[in-house]
Chain A
Amino acid sequence: MRVTASLSIFLFLFLLISPFSRLIAQESNVFTAQVLDVNNSSPLPGASVYWEGDISSGVVSDLKGNFQIKIKSLPARLVVSFVGFETSSRVITVKDLEKSQRFFLKPDEMSLDEIIIQERRPDEQVRNMETGKATIPIATIKNIPALFGEVDLLRSLQLLPGVQTAGEGTTGLFVRGGSADQNLVQLDGAPIYNASHFFGFFSVFNPDALDQVELYKGNMPASFGGRLSSLIDVTLREGNNEQIHGEGGIGSISSRLTLDGPLFSDKSTFVISGRRTYADLFLKLSSDEDLKNNKLNFHDLSGKLTFNLSEKDKLTVSSYEGSDFLGLDEQFGLGWRNWVSSAQWSRNVSEKLFFDLQGYHSRYNYRVEFDDPDTGFEWKNKLSETGVKGQWTLLQNDRLQSFWGFQSQLYHFAPIALNPAVNSSIDPIVTNPKNGLLNSAFAGITYEITPRLSTEAGLRWGFFNQIGRGVDYIYENNVVGPDSPVVDTVNYKALENIKFYQGLEPRIAFRYLINEEFSVKAAYNRNFQYVQIASNSSAGLPIDRWILAGTYIPPIRSDQVSLGLFRNFDENRWEFSVEGYYKDFRNVIDLRNGAQVLFTDNVETELLTGNGYAYGAEFLLRKNVGKTTGWLAYTYSRTYRKIPGISLGEKYNPRYDRPHDITLVLNHEFSPSWSAGLTFIYTTGQAVSFPIGVYDVDNQSVPLYSDYRNADRFPDYHRMDASITWKNADKGRKWKGSWNFSVYNLYGRKNPFAYEFREIYNDDFRYDSGEDGPIESTRQGIVMTYLFTFLPSITYNFQF
């Protein structure tokens, strides 16, 4: 009793002089703390917190992982638990009230003899409002067998229903009938204009540096906009605030290293990550002189700093830089580079109101150099997007949440510049710059109308100005085409309005909960897009010409309606969903025959504009829990374009129209040391044009094509990949290593990459006039190129 009284007096005096006195004085019988994930220090909302032996005292952590729990007596043991994490309990004494407390939960790797790979609520797909949204945990992505052993984010997303690929090995995504430039790929909120390395074979994301990825297949919240078909929202992970931690890997073609830890104090952290390829080494091993003197490499470097400025303020700064280089004989060089940076300030204005302010800058540039005494040149271009976005989120009550905000985006597409080398006899080319300013306001609510029926409604309103400095051309009789003479040129000063568009983008979704494990969702979305690529090849190239909406190029628009059934089974161990959608495209572009878009200032004369539509049904059966995890997906989808000037004005399929798409992804944990992954993919072949005949002109045998585009199909595509991972048993050592052995295209399927229709000489498609003597016979033939049959690779991964 005496001790207690002394303690009380001491405590009273301490609180009086303590800098925390104001905090504690407000609610002296309350214990406040935050629940965080030990791996990345991210907050864990929804964690259960209670005093041991008194579950009724329990509270739940909020969106930021914070909680307050009433104190009945101290010391007492506090229990913190969260699904998928080991339960933590700690004795709380009066001393613990002196400073801010954090509970770091460790992912529960061995719970009920099951491995849980879970970054979301088990019943999330049933309860949330989202349709057309997919996530793959980074841990799962790392377990998927990979080409060259390079774990690849975008290629992993291709395994999800509704996402198509353009072809073998490439990372381009075609989501629900949209083209690759209709995806907004953003890293910490900053867009990446060319998210691939090696001409699309690898994506720019080093998986070790990532926290999470979310794919919105068209139904994106009103806070996002600017692209029609998808949002791929990638977040760099934050460093931990305990100690320096590292991970990395040494692979067949690249190595990577990531370091993270506290910066100065436990209130700030850093993470830095790098990756570099060494494909050049393989080229040097070639006996072919033409190949061994070449360079071919890429690297990525990213970093993120996190500062917990106060209990209510958090600042993150992140940056990514990545580039590729292809060099031939020191005479020809092609390089391209992305550099994106962003900063975000998050403030808890009050317990219910949150504010996020973000600024970013994204820059992409390429450069081509040709060192030749007569025709040498340097050809370069860059484009950039700079933006600021502010968003307020208000949690009015359990049934109503709302958000509102603004976003401003400044696009600058620099002039295409071709500068001759000294003594070169070609003339320089410089086009005019293109600039655009997109200001958007957005607002939305999530409202629980009844316990079963909820809605999420939002509106985004974009105001787009094509602005100066720039030039507009006036064509004779206002007819824009390759043969239309330019009758006048109008110059615009910096920031002067050239063309204005505005567009309302309503987004609405409903969810009806039939029971705890079964829901129905419906959604409607409209999106506008003001930037796009002027290209008609299916795979992106580093030198692709991005164009802005303007006087002659209207913004493209999509409207999508979708309906989905979401059902969980066996206590949320299994998820099943069926989603159907119909999507309408307006003002999509293609290029006229023989279009030249790279160096012209009159891109509009090379374009054809039309409409399109797509529809499909996506089935997904997924298991997230247990020793065996993975999913089986089937998609039936069609996509069409109808553009005057193509296919006689009739509808046609883009190359990525692939009606049937089956994907199986499996990962099995045999023991703590051994695990294996397996994927199987089957899709209808790409829609292409094969010749119907051949004719002679200009001493050439020329394939004759039908007027109808893409009326033929490649053979069906299928492939199986497998991997085995062995990791050393955890003996408490800091260094943890694992070996991954994977095989791409396990059974060596010869999936066509290209078909060439040409003459075959002397019955030998490899005929070489320099070596194989005179031509004795000629006939038409088809030569198929295929890539990657049975491609093994090995990677050593480590953590310390």
Chain B
Amino acid sequence: MNRFWIVILALAAFSCQEEVYLPLATIDGDVPVIEAVWTDNTYYNEVKISLAEDYFDTLETQLISDAEVFISEEGSARKIPFAYNVYSNSYLPLNTGEKAEVGEKYQLTVRWNNNVFTSSGTLLAPPTVDSVTYEYQEDRLFRDEGYYIKVYGEIPFEEDNYYRIRVIENDTLKNDRDDYLLFDDTFGLRFFEEGLELNYSFDEGDKVRLELFRLNQKAYNYLSQLVNLLYNDGGLFSPPPQNPVSNITVIQGESDVLGYFNVTSVLSRTVSIEPEED
């Protein structure tokens, strides 16, 4: 839909852009940002904690390395402590083999500077991915020419249908705001059975890794609001910009908190784009 607005602004001929400076207010105090990912695959499990900074601050993002972080499994004595890792600049499970189990509910706890932050989520069963195909497509509306990947699978769930697909192209995560692929069952899920075409064109020789996450609703909402915010241009047609609603709550202390706790199952597939045979 981006081109939709290009056309509107083109009407004005006439629209121009330039970089400007505006005096902006600054952050009052420390605002921690917690990004916790807890999955059924040890590769993804980590907790990043940093501080928000003033908009024009040119310093490196300030990381918090002295927090106490653990995840506990509801209804059991299982507690997974995390420790700061200087190589990943994040907190990793002390026991490297720790991962989430389908159907279990987990609570994240972060203690830092006399503040305690918690959040919870349930690991939902993943859908089924049957196959991943690709096909060369000519130039289309909203899509350039190139190879397009289709994912075929089955989503048998009646509720909690909140999904994200991430794409890693030749070891580089596609993380532009246009690259977010989030979907729920608003328009049904039949398109997943009949082949969900990813909105990226690839070239011959590309090695593409797909990651399919099944999220909790609040984490999905967080990411949806994050994408909306990234697209918010502050213009008349945009809603007033607001921070995504975090699913992390402050249970002790006066601090604000940003970020989210993502308990998610992960499926991944890798495909190499080979030249089509004549």
Question: Is A bound to B?
Answer: yes
Show the binding face of A for B, using Cβ within 8 Å. Answer: 166-167, 169-170, 198-201, 279, 282-283, 286, 290-291, 294, 296, 326, 328-329, 331-332, 334, 372, 374-375, 418, 425-427, 429, 536-539, 541, 591, 593-594, 596, 599, 655, 688-700, 702-706, 709-712, 750, 753-758, 760, 765-766, 779-789, 791
Given known contacts A328-B4, A695-B52, A702 and B229 CB-to-CB distance under 8 angstroms: yes
Smallest CB separation, B266 vs chain A (Å): 15
Q: Does B76 contact A (CB under 8 A)?
A: no
Query: How far in angstroms is the closest Cβ of chain A from B191?
Result: 4
Contact mask for chain B residues 190-204; partner A; CB cutoff 8 A; 1 contact, 0 none: 110111010000000
User: Is the CB of B17 closer than 8 A to any CB of chain A?
Assistant: yes
Q: Using A429-B186, A754-B234 as known contacts, say yes or no to A695 and B25 having CB atoms under 8 A apart.
A: no
Docked complex Cα distance between A102 and B190 (Å): 72
User: Cβ of B31 < 8 Å from any Cβ of A?
Assistant: yes
Evaluate contact between A787 and B229: CB separation under 8 angstroms: no
Bound Cα distance from A697 to B9, whole angstroms: 31
B87 at interface (Cβ–Cβ under 8 A)? no
CA distance A753 to B19 in the complex (A): 13
Cβ contact within 8 Å between B141 and A332: yes
> How far, in angstroms, from A328 to B3 measured CA to CA in the complex?
9
For residue A204, give the distance in angstroms from its CB to the closest CB of chain B.
Answer: 17
Tell which of B55-63, B93-101, B109-117 binds the partner: B55-63
- Cα of A536 to Cα of B7 in the assembled complex, Å: 23
The reply to whether B236 and A702 form a contact with Cβ atoms under 8 Å apart is: no
Q: Of the candidates B31, B191, B243, B260, which one forms a contact with A374 in the assembled complex, judged by CB atoms under 8 Å apart?
A: B191
Chain B residues with CB below 8 A from A290, complex form: 3, 6
Complex interface bits, B34-56 against A, C-beta within 8 A gives 1, otherwise 0: 01000000000000001111111
The verdict on B12 contacting chain A, using a C-beta distance below 8 Å, is yes
- Other A-B pairs beyond A427-B188, A700-B230, 13, CB < 8 Å: A166-B236, A331-B140, A425-B193, A591-B239, A596-B186, A689-B234, A693-B55, A694-B52, A694-B53, A694-B55, A695-B52, A709-B240, A765-B18
Could you tell me the dominant secondary structure of chain A's interface residues? mixed
- Decide if A594 touches B228 in the complex (CB within 8 Å): yes
For the complex, give the distance between the alpha carbons of A401 and B7 in Å: 54
Q: B residues within 8 A CB of A418? A: 187
Contact between A425 and B175, CB atoms less than 8 A apart? no
Tell which of B10, B57, B223, B244 touches A286, judged by Cβ atoms closer than 8 Å.
B10
Bound-complex Cα distance A198 to B190 (A): 35
Q: B83 → chain A, closest Cβ, in Å?
A: 21
Q: Output the nearest chain A residue to B173 by Cβ-Cβ distance.
A: A699
| Closest chain B residue to A753, Cβ basis | B235
Given contacts A537-B238, A655-B240, A693-B31, contact A786 B15 (CB under 8 A): yes
A765's nearest neighbour on chain B, judged by CB, is B19
Given contacts A425-B195, A427-B188, A705-B243, contact A696 B25 (CB under 8 A): no
Contact between A695 and B33, CB atoms less than 8 A apart: yes
Cα distance A780–B238 in the bound complex, in angstroms? 21
A418, A689, A703, A755, most chain B CB atoms within 10 A: A703
How far, in whole Å, are A692 and B13 apart by their CA atoms in the complex? 32
Give Cα A296 to B12, complex, Å: 12
Please tell me if the beta carbons of A754 and B233 are within 8 angstroms of each other in the complex: yes
Across-interface contacts of A655 in B (CB, < 8 A): 236, 240
Question: Smallest Cβ distance from B150 to chain A, in angstroms?
Answer: 9
Give Cα A709–Cα B21 distance, bound, in whole angstroms: 21
Kindly identify which residue among A698, A700, A782, A787 contacts B19, using a CB–CB cutoff of 8 Å: A782
Q: Which residues of A contact B22 (CB under 8 A)?
A: 690, 755, 782
Known contacts A375-B191, A702-B230, A755-B22; decide if A693 and B15 are in contact (CB<8 Å).
Answer: no
Which chain A residue shows the least CB distance to B217?
A483
A426 pairs with B188, CB closer than 8 A: yes
The residue on B at minimum CB distance from A708 is B25
Judged by a CB distance under 8 angstroms, whether B27 is at the interface is yes
**A/B interface sample: 26 pairs, CB < 8 A:** A201-B12, A282-B13, A286-B10, A290-B3, A291-B10, A374-B194, A374-B195, A418-B187, A593-B242, A596-B186, A690-B25, A692-B24, A693-B31, A694-B57, A695-B258, A697-B226, A698-B223, A704-B31, A712-B25, A755-B20, A784-B17, A785-B233, A786-B15, A786-B16, A786-B17, A791-B13
